[in-house]
Amino acid sequence: MLLNEAVLALVKQPDGVFVDGTFGRGGHSRAVLAKLSPAGRLVAFDKDPEAIAEAATIDDPRFAIRHAGFGDMASELRGLGIARVQGVLLDIGVSSPQIDNPERGFSFRHDAPLDMRMDTTRGETAAEFLARADVREIAEVIRDYGEERFAVQIAKALVARRESGSPVVRTGELAALVARTVKTREQGQDPATRTFQALRIHVNAELEALEQGLNAALALLAPGGRLVVISFHSLEDRIVKTFIARESRDAFDRRAPMAPPRALRLAALGRLKPSEAEIAANPRARSAVMRVAERTEAPL
C-alpha cells in the first residue's frame, strides 16, 4: 500500500544504506532495490519466519534480511557494521498474507487456532493470554488497544466461559462470543474487529515496538535521511504523529533556562492517504496513513 509514494519519499540518495523495517512479502523492499544504485544497500527486518523464507528468494548482493523486529534495528545494524542510514521505512501492523492465512489466527473470517503471533517461534499466543489473564487485564487490553467501549463485558464473558471449563481457543469461538456480547456496532464493521485488533497488538507488543523503532530510526538517520511510516489505525498514527511533532520543534531544558534550546532533529514533510484508485483496487488501503520526516542534524 502506498508503495510508489513510500519509495519516492524514502530514496533520495540512491547510493545510501536503507532499512525496510517490515519486509512482509517484499513489495517495498523490491521497489527500493529497483531505485538504488549498484553502491546502495538495503537491510530488511521481519519477525515472521514466513517473511524470512520469502526474503531468501531475493538474489541481490545489496540486500540483507534479519529475523528481528524493527525495534532491534540499531543493535542488528551495528552487528553488520552500519552506523548511519539514509532512510528508514516502517509499514506498521499485520500484513495481508498474515491475515489471509487462516492458521495464523489473525482474522475472524476463518476458524483457526487463536494464535496471532507475528513471530511463531516465540512468545505467548492470544489463546494463552486469555487462558491466564483476569477480567481487569483482559478488559484493559481490549479497551486500550481496541478502543472498545464494551471491553469489560467482553472480558467478563471470556473469563466466565473459561471458568465453565471451555476456554476460547479458536478465532471462530472468540468472534461468536464477542458478537453475542456486543449489542451495537458501527455499520459495516464486524463486532469482533476491535477485540481482534487489541489482542494482536498486545500479543506482539506492537505499540512498544513502534516507539522503540522510531527512536532507533532517529538515532540511525544521517542528516538528510528520510523516515517514512505507514500506519493503519489511530493508535499507531497518533504515536507517529506525536513523535514527529516532538522532534520537529526546539526544546528548552527548564532545569537550565539560560542554555540554548536543543535543535530540532526532524523536519515533518507531510502526510499522505491512498488514492481513490488504490482504495478501489485494495479496500484494506482505506485506513492507511503515510507520514514522512527528514533528519535535520547529525545524530549524537
> What letters, b where the CB count within 10 A reaches 16 and e where it falls short, cover 213-236?
bbebbbebbbeebbbbbbbbbebb
Domain extents in the chain: 3-96+206-295, 120-203
pLDDT at 9: 97
C-alpha 242/C-alpha 222 separation (Å) is 21
pTM of the model: 0.88
**What band does 261 get if pLDDT is binned at 50, 70 and 90?**
low
**What band does 55 get if pLDDT is binned at 50, 70 and 90?**
very high
| Overall fold of domain 3-96+206-295 | Rossmann fold (3.40.50)
Residues in Cβ contact with 31 at an 8 Å cutoff, skipping those fewer than 6 apart: 3, 4, 7
Whether residue 213 has pLDDT greater than 70: yes
Q: Which three cell numbers stand for residue 126?
A: 492470544
**What band does 255 get if pLDDT is binned at 50, 70 and 90?**
low
Q: Which three cell numbers stand for residue 164?
A: 465453565
Parallel, antiparallel or unpaired: strands 289-295 and 221-231: antiparallel
Q: Averaged over 3-17, what is the pLDDT?
A: 96
C-alpha 61/C-alpha 23 separation (Å) is 17
What value does the mean pLDDT of the chain take?
A: 90
Domain 120-203 top-level CATH class:
mainly alpha
C-alpha 291/C-alpha 127 separation (Å) is 34
Q: Which residue has the higher pLDDT, 101 or 122?
A: 122
Question: What are the pLDDT digits (tens) for 134-190?
Answer: 999 999 999 999 999 999 999 999 999 999 999 999 999 999 999 999 977 776 678
Q: Do the Cβ atoms of 224 and 7 come closer than 8 Å?
A: no
Q: Which three cell numbers stand for residue 55?
A: 526474503
- Residue 193 DSSP code: H
Which of 203, 94, 234, 74 has the alpha carbon at shortest distance from 138? 203
**What band does 280 get if pLDDT is binned at 50, 70 and 90?**
confident
Q: Which three cell numbers stand for residue 234?
A: 489511530
C-alpha 47/C-alpha 130 separation (Å) is 22
Question: What are the pLDDT digits (tens) for 116-138?
Answer: 999 999 999 999 999 999 999 99
DSSP per position, 76-98: HHHHTT---EEEEEEE-S--HHH
Enumerate helices (H) and strands (E) in the chain, giving the number of each.
13, 7
pLDDT at 21: 96
Q: Which three cell numbers stand for residue 173?
A: 469461538
Rounded alpha-carbon distances, angstroms, from residue 207 to 29, 202, 259: 23, 8, 34
Q: Exposed, middle or buried by CB within 10 Å (0-12, 13-18, 19+), for 154?
A: buried
pLDDT at 30: 97
Q: Do domains 3-96+206-295 and 120-203 have the same CATH topology?
A: no
